[in-house]
Amino acid sequence: MTKRYYFYIRYIPAHADFELLAGRCIHQMHMFMVNNPQVMNRIGVSFPSWGESSVGQTIAFVAEDKDMMIGLSFQPYFSLMINEGLFELSSVCEAPESLGEVRFVRNQMINKSFLGSKKRRIKRSMVRAELSGAEQRLPVAVEERVIDSFHRIPISSGSSGQDFILFIQKEFVGERAASSFNSYGFSTNNEKRGTVPDLML
């Protein structure tokens, strides 16, 4: 099986907003992929100290290409945060093959459970009905969802500049899957089902 490489960033302030810092690191990785299309969808994100209350004080990036990981680790934002004494950055290491596999999933269905999203969907439905000439009726939402624990990571879109939330869940899986991630380094519920080693740092 192909070797995988990783590096991690530990946030030094113990009482920092770990989700906010994770979002900023993920944004840097996303922009790295946008600027280097050959690495698009090949870098996975891991949270080695993930817990019930937060994503933890550490984020890791994982890929099969060591040079890609070295390039990502030299992003100016990371260097700035290290110089400011806010980040500790590891060297690029080979991931042990003996580790279990996990999937960090961006679950967009969670967003649909919140009131703001429901209002937007109802409004779109009413506009569609008006445009098609159909009778306008207020749609009835018959959706009951049970959602496992998740964390919210705020992030800014590199293209639109809009702020949004990534809803992330951790799944334990039985075996390694191909490195296929979305442009933010996460698996999805459908197409991108890549896994990362269950790093414990």
pLDDT tens for 124-167 read 666 776 777 766 665 555 555 545 689 999 998 877 778 999 99
**Quick check: helix, strand or coil at residue 193?**
coil
Residues above pLDDT 70, as percent of the chain: 84
Question: What is the per-residue pLDDT across 19-36, written as a single tens digit (0 to 9) for each?
Answer: 999 999 999 999 999 999
Q: What is the pLDDT of residue 136?
A: 61
Check: pTM over 0.85? Answer yes or no.
no
Which of 145, 138, 77 has the alpha carbon at shortest distance from 113? 145
Q: Which two tokens stand for residue 68?
A: 């890609």
**How many CB atoms neighbour CB 195 within 10 A?**
26
CATH architecture of the domain with range 5-105+172-197: 2-Layer Sandwich (3.30)
Residue-wise burial string across 73-83, b where 16 or more C-beta atoms lie within 10 A, e elsewhere: bebeebeebee
Residue for token pair 């937007």: 120
Residue for token pair 């209002």: 119
Is the pLDDT reported for residue 87 higher than 70? yes
Q: What is the pLDDT of residue 1?
A: 77
Q: What is the pLDDT of residue 12?
A: 97
Q: What is the pLDDT of residue 95?
A: 97
Q: Residue ranges per domain, the chain? A: 5-105+172-197
Q: What is the pLDDT of residue 146?
A: 47
Distances (CA, A) of 96 to 1, 2, 3, 38, 199: 12, 12, 9, 25, 9
The letter for the amino acid at 39 is: V
